[in-house]
Structure 1
Amino acid sequence: MEKIENTNNNVQISPWLTTIAVMSAAFMFVLDGTIANVALPQMAGSFSSSNDEATWILTSYLIASGIVVPSVDWFSKFFGRKQFFIACILIFTGASLLCGMSTSLDMMIVSRVIQGVGGGALLPVAQAILLEAFPVEKRALAMSIFGFGVVVAPVIGPILGGWLTDNWSWNWIFFINIPFGILAAVTSKLWIFDPPYAQKQADAKIDYVGFFFLIVWLVTFQVFLDKGNNADWFGSEWICWTFGISMIAMVLFIYSQIVQKDSIIDLSVFKDRSFVLGTTILVIANMVLYASTTIMPLFLQNLMGYNAFWSGYSLMPRGFGSVLAIFIYSITNKLFDFRLFTAIGIIGLGVSGLMFGFLNLEFSMINIIIPNFIFGFSVGMTITVLTTASMETISNAKMTNASGVQNLVKNLGAAIGTSLVATMVSRYSQAFQHNMVGFLDPNNPVYAERLASMTSFFCQFDVYAVAFQKAQGMLYNQLLQQSTLCAYMETFRVWGIVTFVCLPLLLLYKNKSKA
């Protein structure tokens, strides 16, 4: 077993021990990204708030973590990467305890902001540490392990969250983080070290201007995405202003990072062709992953009557597919061109989306299991391969910065995908309802026959006028159900087609024989 040397005390540490430390933290963070979704209605009821108000439980977390993600390289230089990583674990764990103890919506939102501040840095720092812990020729193996945690945790999240919510209470979806946090903090203290370029730097300065523009950009952009659908997007004046401020702040942030000597992020990573191409495809894959993870539980709960646990349980085949993909890649990555693995993943994503797009209300469980398995396999293959390929030409000294930048744009892709999928279902549902309502015409013989039959049935219990009204209401409810089903199916098909756009990007990679 290879070992890496701790330059602080000349102790050699196995990279596998380092893997345990960083993956404990990464798994905890990624798990928390989806575990709260299924419990949102219960939390809203507990705090006597509306579902719209309760969405700030999710939004506040995303905003806070989004601000920290691109700043990880600067924070690592200012505090030392190991100390910063451990501090983030402790902040995240402590905030999880506060979230579970929250007695009001305000307390929950404040706790989630603190949790986001602590959790935002865990994933990019863990990725950078893991890549550096292994030699270049074994980075594919390292990213296979990393991909396992990053891909499987979001699948386990809804299942575990649904079970805890149904059998215990929503509070436990946050308390579950505490043992993971303690394990991650202890093992990180023992088994992680800072190479010279990741140690605390005395000359590290705070980029106040860049940090201000970063906060304004990400906060306003997240509010735009979160509230845009309900406010009719650009039909709302305040949404237009919010979007405009966000874009101006983004431009000023990028400009400040170019001209500032001590900037928060180093944009020179975008000169690396492999990094840009890999990150672009990862952003699209993240959009599809989070869009699908958002829409599937809603489809099963709203149309099929599944509870929180069973809607999360239906996603379990994705976990098995991801594990299989990561296992296959870890043992065959040296035999084939990485573009072949990526192409298989992209095609699988598209095919699974199209398979979801042809479901109906009378499907069997196998109709959900097969496309979910293909989806999980494809996501696991795509993310694992491209995370390795995109960082292949990045030096160790720039790894933390590159990881932070990559995770920033991936998070933006996830936020955009989540927002777009909600809008698509809403708008498609309205369009299909408008097209289908014309069939509820007394001159339509099929409708007239069904209305008469149902009216006759209800007449056994009520007078004719009431029975006729009930029959009309039931038929209209069926129309709403059918229009919503069509909206979900159309959305699945669109996202399936979107993934195929990534295939031509693979041709832009320089010719390399192996991953």
Structure 2
Amino acid sequence: MTNISSSPNSKAELSPEAFAGYVQGPLKWAIALTAALGAILEVIDTSIVNVALTEIQATLGATISEVGWVVTAYAIANVILIPLSAWLGDFFGKKTYFVFSMVGFTLSSVLCGFSVNLPMLIVARILQGLCGGGLLAKAQAILFESFPPAEQGLAQAVFGVGVIAGPAIGPTLGGYLTDSLGWRWIFFINLPVGIVATIMALLFLRPDAKKRSQQRQPVDWWGILFLIIAVGSLQTLLEEGETEGWFDSPFIIRLAIAAVVGLFLFIRRELRVKHPAVDLRVLRHRALAAGSLYSGILGMGLYGALFAVPLFAQGILRYSATQTGWLLAPGALASAIMMVLLGKISTKVDARILIGMGAIGTTLVMFDLAQITPQTGTDNLFWPLVWRGATTVLMFLPLSLATLGGLPPEDISAGSGFYNLMRQLGGSIGIAILASLLDRRQTFHRAMLLTDLSGYDRETLQRLEALTGYFQSRGVDAAIAQQQALETLDRLVSLQSAVLSYADIFRFVGIIFLCSLPLLLFLGKGGRGAKAPVGH
């Protein structure tokens, strides 16, 4: 992966043969920006809708459970397409497929904005998710194919800014657009960016090689079907599990069975067929296998923490969507700055050291966030969220290099698809676990607090007397004042139990990162000229 094309025009334009060499001069940075725009569009649209669900529900006349499918439909379609992106890129051509995905994502975004009812919006979101899945994995693969190992750090930093900052930018942008222009503009905003990115892709990405023999290879329809069943069922289970009561629901049980059976049939099929839709054989590279697993853990921390903080801000601190977005913005900025700084040295330092520093740093940040109280405010959250943004980058960028940087050229696309799939699934698993944990721990803490509040406890009686006296001093009847005092005390218990449950999930995320450290032993160094370890 180090030879440069020897054609006369190699300094200006790369040979169309796949992996014939690396791009030279300013063109490679134009390619990096093009890939980054595609990734940013996809990642932001994962979270931008969340803050607008109430407005969408009111406009389209949907119930809370129905409008949730606006998010779920996108996520399911997204994770189904990510592992197929390598095969689709080889079948249709990498540039053709990337441009098609960009155009499709842009047009489906416009369709979302013009939706007149909920079914139309859900169908448009499915199309958007299918096209977005192609953007994310192919964007990263394009960078690895275009930049030499010595410059991979900066190239992946450009890509990583969007992936890391996107989940924080999404709610900020979504809240602002929803409050000022209406929810439809969270989709229309993709139109100008999508047009620019499409033009850049047509101009700067290297032309596809014409491999008619490869296009005549049979399509692995059974593999695609089993993948849809396995990943689609798993993603739906994760999205709907908490709402349906997990395995108390026959629907969730059926999804779990479908996911297990579909996964078994998918793996069995892909390891036997000559031309699989998803090449699972790339997992023979030990660094890819370990790095993909770590990517899932990173997804849990990246999306899980960003799931908890907005809920705490809006549920406990009573922030608006816009205020919550601004709360997350400094952390996103810290990620962008750290990404650029780290990009310059990441290929010169053992990736495992940087990842370990990031995991330990993120653990400390999570334990710091676990010290929250009902009096916690913006000032208390500012620095922990800034450090969270910085320490996450210490894991994200080196992990990409350690996992994918040493792969042979022919395995990069498949490896990138699997790596990004694990991060997306890790995020979904993390959010599902944390949502369930948040609910269960709140019930636990409430029960524990209520055991300390009894009619025989002197401190409780004194607090009730003080509250009753306060309401009576405002002209309220004694009986009503006592009832209001009891209701106030109940709200205080609920508030305290909620705060304690948020502290628990922050602590849980920190412990997960601490327990992930042994995986570093299986990763590659990720530095210049790194080779991917192969398992035996």
TM class by shorter chain equals over 0.9
379, 396, 399: which one aligns with 2:412 = 399
Partner of 2:502: 488
Alignment of 1:470 onto 2:484 = yes
Give matches, 1:366-381, under 5 Å.
366-381=379-394
Question: Whole-Å Cα distance in 2 between the matches of residues 4 and 113 of structure 1?
Answer: 39
Quick one: structure 1 residues 24 and 341, their matched pair in 2 at CA, closer, same or farther if it must change by over 3 Å? Answer: same
How much has 1:20 moved relative to structure 2?
2.1
Name the CA distance, whole Å, in 2 between partners of 1:135 and 1:62: 33
Q: Which one-letter code corresponds to 1:410 in the other structure?
A: R
Post-superposition shift, 1:8?
Answer: 4.8
List per-residue Cα deviations over 1:47-103 (Å, max 9, x = no partner): 222222211110000111111111112211222111111111111101111111122
Q: Does 1:337 align with 2:350?
A: yes
Aligned to 2:373: 360
Tell me, in whole angstroms, the C-alpha distance in 1 between the residues paired with 2:444 and 2:61: 33
**Alignment length, in residue pairs?**
515
CA 1:137–1:284 in structure 2 vs 1: closer, same or farther (change >3 Å)? same
1:418 maps to: 431
Return 5+ residue gaps in structure 1 as ranges: none
Give the distance between the partners of 2:84 and 2:92, measured in 1 at CA: 12
- Contact 1:131/1:139 (CA < 8 Å) preserved in 2? yes
TM-score (norm 2): 0.92
| Change in 2 beyond 3 A, CA 1:447/1:245 | same
Residues 226-265 of structure 1: pairs in structure 2 closer than 5 A: 226-265=239-278
Instruction: Give the Cα–Cα distance (whole angstroms) in 1 for the partners of residues 356 and 338 of structure 2.
Output: 13
Task: Identify if the C-alpha distance between structure 1 residues 364 and 300 changes in structure 2 by more than 3 Å, giving closer, same or farther.
Answer: closer
Query: Does structure 1 residue 446 correspond to structure 2 residue 454?
Result: no
CA shift, 1:236, in A, is 2.8
Match of 1:188 among 198, 201, 204: 201
1:127: how far off? 0.5
1:261-318 residue CA offsets vs partner (Å, 9 max, x unmatched): 1211111111111112222212101111111111111110011110001111111122
Tell me what 2:77 maps to: 64
Give a deviation string over 1:5-37, Cα, whole Å, max 9, x none: 333599977211211222221111111111111
Superposed displacement of residue 135, structure 1:
1.3
In 1, the alpha carbon distance for the partners of 2:258 and 2:39 equals 33
Q: Match of 1:470, as an amino acid?
A: Q
Q: Is the 8 A contact 2:149 2:347 kept in 1?
A: no
Q: What is the distance in 2 between the residues matched to 1:432 and 1:165? A: 35
| Structure 1 residues 212-271: Cα deviation after superposition (integer angstroms, max 9, x where no partner) | 111111221122112222332223333222211211111111111011112111111111
Among 294, 310, 318, the residue aligned to 2:331:
318
Q: Which 10-residue stretch deviates more, 360-369 or 250-259?
A: 360-369
Name the Cα RMSD after superposition: 2.2
Aligned partners of 1:471 and 1:200: how far apart in 2? 79
CA–CA separation in structure 1 for the residues paired with 2:525 and 2:91: 39
| More moved, 3-12 vs 253-262 | 3-12
**Which residue type is aligned with residue 508 of structure 1?**
F
The answer to whether structure 1 residue 29 and structure 2 residue 42 are counterparts is yes
Shift in Å at residue 200 of structure 1?
8.6
Q: Report the alpha carbon displacement of residue 45 of structure 1 after superposing the two structures with TM.
A: 2.0
Aligned partner of 1:295 in structure 2 is 308
d(CA) in 1 for partners of 2:236 and 2:159?
A: 31
Return the match for 2:214 from 201, 207, 229.
Answer: 201
Report if the CA contact (8 A) 1:63-1:116 is conserved. yes
Q: Distance in 2 between matches of 1:198 and 1:146?
A: 29
- Alignment partners' CA distance in 2, 1:480 and 1:199: 65
Deviates more, 1:454-463 or 1:349-358: 454-463
1:159 is matched with: 172
Indicate how the Cα distance of structure 1 residues 171 and 76 shifts in structure 2: closer, same or farther if over 3 A, else same: same
Structure 1 residue 441 displacement after superposition: 1.4
Is 1:506 aligned to residue 520 of structure 2?
yes
> Could you tell me which amino acid in structure 1 is paired with residue 303 of structure 2?
Y
The answer for the alignment partner of 2:288 in structure 1 is: 275
The corresponding residue for 1:73 is 86
Match of 2:233 among 216, 220, 223: 220
In the alignment, is the contact (CA less than 8 A) between 2:152 and 2:347 conserved in 1? Answer: no
Aligned partner of 2:6 in structure 1 is none
Further displaced range: 400-409 or 326-335: 326-335
> 1-side partners of 2:399 and 2:183: how far apart?
35
Q: Per-residue CA shift, 1:145-166, capped at 9, x if unaligned?
A: 1112211222211111111112
Q: Distance in 1 between matches of 2:211 and 2:356?
A: 35
| Distance 1:342-1:361 versus aligned 2 partners, 3 A rule | same
- Quick one: structure 1 residues 322 and 512, their matched pair in 2 at CA, closer, same or farther if it must change by over 3 Å? closer
Q: Separation in 1 of the partners of 2:16 and 2:324?
A: 49
CA distance in 1, matches of 2:436, 2:114: 33
Counterpart of 1:145 (choices 151, 158, 163) is 158
Please say if residues 152 and 322 of structure 1, whose CA atoms lie closer than 8 Å, have aligned partners that are also in contact. Answer: yes
Name stretches of at least 5 consecutive residues in structure 2 with no aligned partner.
Answer: 1-9, 531-536
**Aligned CA distance change for structure 1 residues 244 and 306 (closer, same or farther; 3 Å):** same
- The corresponding residue for 2:279 is 266
Q: Residues 304, 244 of structure 1: CA spacing in aligned structure 2 closer, same or farther, 3 A cutoff?
A: same
Distance (Å, rounded) in 1 between the aligned partners of 2:360 and 2:38: 31
Taking the aligned partners of 2:136 and 2:526, their CA distance within structure 1 comes to 28
For residue 199 of structure 1, report the CA deviation from its aligned partner: 8.5
Matched with 2:13 is 5
CA contact (8 A) 1:265 1:401 kept: yes
* Residue 52 (structure 1) aligned with residue 65 (structure 2): yes
- Matches of 2:526 and 2:30 in 1, distance apart? 31
Q: Secondary structure at the match of 2:242?
A: coil
Contact 1:274–1:389, Cα closer than 8 Å, also in 2: yes
Q: 1:198 to 1:20 in 2, by over 3 A?
A: farther
Do the aligned partners of 1:77 and 1:199 also contact (CA within 8 Å) in 2?
Answer: no
The amino acid that maps onto 1:166 is D
Alpha-carbon offset, residue 3 of structure 1: 4.2
Alpha carbons of 1:411 and 1:261: their partners in 2 closer, same or farther (altered >3 Å)? Answer: same
Deviates more, 1:417-426 or 1:404-413: 404-413
Contact 1:88 1:121 in 2 (8 A): yes
Query: Residue type of the partner of 1:192?
Result: L
**CA distance in structure 2 between the aligned counterparts of 1:90 and 1:386, rounded to whole angstroms:** 30
Percent of counterpart pairs with the same letter? Answer: 31
Pick closer, same or farther for the CA change 1:200–1:17 going to 2, 3 Å.
farther
Q: Structure 1 residue 207: deviation in Å?
A: 1.0
> Quick one: distance in 1 between partners of 2:207 and 2:362?
38
Paired residues for 1:421-432 under 5 Å: 421-432=434-445
